[in-house]
Structure 1
Amino acid sequence: MSDTPSPVRRRSGRGARERILKAATELFTAQGVNATGMDQLTTVAHVSKRTLYTHFASKDDLVQAYLRELEDGLLPAEVVPGEPCPDAREQLLAIFDWPPGRTDGPLRGCPFLNAAVEVPDPDHPVHLMVAAYKREFARRLTALARVAGARDPEALGEQLALLYDGAVARSTALNATGPGAHARAVAIALVDAAID
């Protein structure tokens, strides 16, 4: 046996990955992806750069993980074949039911749209992920429209997705949640005309 003491290994601590994602969500939401530096992320997450890069090989990887964490909570309800779908019409309209505006900062709107603006290269992995998310968003609306009895569910799904994205962008620009209520009124007219 050697008398040489073995080097002490410092653990990055339990939950480092979760702390990094929490910090990324907080910072990316408040100030955007490009304005958030890795030094700031490590400070807020209470981790070293080494620990950050152990969990996420690059900032792009972190942005993708951040968006993956959000997507399920932001997508419309999934229609599962063979299972009941309670009030599909109301679920179509529910995407426009936004919580009241926060008072601690500007509205940042849809994190996926924000990421697409901040990473404009259409071939970049983050941009590709955003495009896939937006397609899935419209697909789920189309499935709900079909269950609700829309004559042309594909058209209604796309119309509602476009209306949603426009309302979110307008809310961001105006720093107000009012466009969500106006978009919901337009959506009611669209849905009722489509399932008449």
Structure 2
Amino acid sequence: MSATAETTTTARLTARGAKTRERIVEAAAELMYVRGVGSTTLDDVRTASGASKSQLYRHFANKDEIVRAVIELMGERVIQREQQALGGVSNIEGLRRWRDALVQNNALRHGAYGCALGSFASEVSDHDDVARRALHALFAEWKDLLAGAIRRMQENGKLSAGAPVDELATGLLGAVQGGYMLAQTAHDVTPMGTSIDMALAHIQSLSSG
């Protein structure tokens, strides 16, 4: 076989392997989000993804590695969504539109399953430090996006110059996560909307006029 043909074959196999890995992670993400990490087995993932046992273990040595890959995938999706939603926000009206989109999206599931990142954090943070650190970084990135929106409010004179931007962003993210949990237990997004509204009301109270 020529060097060119060998390279082409290797690239094809690598691409095929990447697709298999992607399929496994996608299937695991769906199962773990709906069922929970603890209730999802490797056999469940293998069956849902259509991968063989050898294919699964070629890409992942154990369940922890799959969980970490799922967190990376879900984290990318959440942060991309928040970047799109918050990137141009510079006033309280924009934050309210962001709030409405979050609540309405969660209402499609009647609050079930909660926040993807929050659900994983509650299940894995105390026994997988690698996963915990990944989640911590994702929440920090989400908080920074909120802080960016609040800081733009401050820069354009919509918020008091002395308002504690990072603390407000942390409180707002806390209201979001607490709201997801309350909506999940009630199967009703009303408490989620109320939680975020209270945080936004506090931010608005610091308006510069």
Identify the match of residue 191 of structure 2 among 149, 169, 179.
179
Whether the aligned pair in 2 keeps the contact of 1:87 and 1:148 (CA below 8 Å) is yes
Q: Percent identity?
A: 25
Equivalent residue, structure 1, for 2:129: 124
Q: Distance in 1 between matches of 2:141 and 2:196?
A: 20
- Matches of residues 63-78 of structure 1 in structure 2 within 5 Å? 63-75=67-79, 76-77=82-83
Deviation at residue 194 of structure 1 after TM alignment: 2.7
Contact 2:89 2:95 in 1 (8 A): no
Aligned residue number for residue 89 of structure 1: 92
AA matched with 2:67: V
Give me the whole-angstrom Cα distance separating, in 2, the residues matched to 1:189 and 1:29: 31
Q: Report the CA distance between 1:195 and its aligned residue.
A: 3.0
Higher helix share: 2
- Tell me if 1:135 matches 2:135: no
CA distance in 2, matches of 1:129, 1:161: 17
Q: Select the residue among 151, 162, 166 that pairs with 2:174.
A: 162
Please show how residues 99-118 of structure 1 align to structure 2 within 5 Å.
99=105, 100-102=107-109, 107-118=112-123
Q: 1:60 aligns with which of 48, 61, 64?
A: 64
| 2-structure distance, mates of 1:89, 1:64 | 35
Amino acid at match of 2:83: A
Counterparts of 2:59 and 2:91, CA distance in 1: 40
- Is 2:57 aligned against 1:38? no
Q: Distance in 1 between matches of 2:175 and 2:148?
A: 17
Distance in 2, Cα, partners of 1:114 & 1:134: 13
> For 1:59 and 1:51, how far apart are their aligned partners in 2?
14
Determine helix, strand or coil for the equivalent of 1:77: helix
- In the superposition, the TM-score normalised over structure 1's length comes to 0.79
Report the Cα distance in structure 2 between the residues aligned to 1:108 and 1:166, rounded to whole angstroms: 13
Q: Distance in 2 between matches of 1:68 and 1:138?
A: 17
Change (3 A) 1:51 1:12: farther
- Flag structure 2 segments of 5+ consecutive residues without an equivalent: 1-12
C-alpha RMSD of the superposition: 2.8
Unaligned residue ranges in structure 1 (runs of 5+):
1-10
Displacement of 1:39 after TM fit?
Answer: 0.5
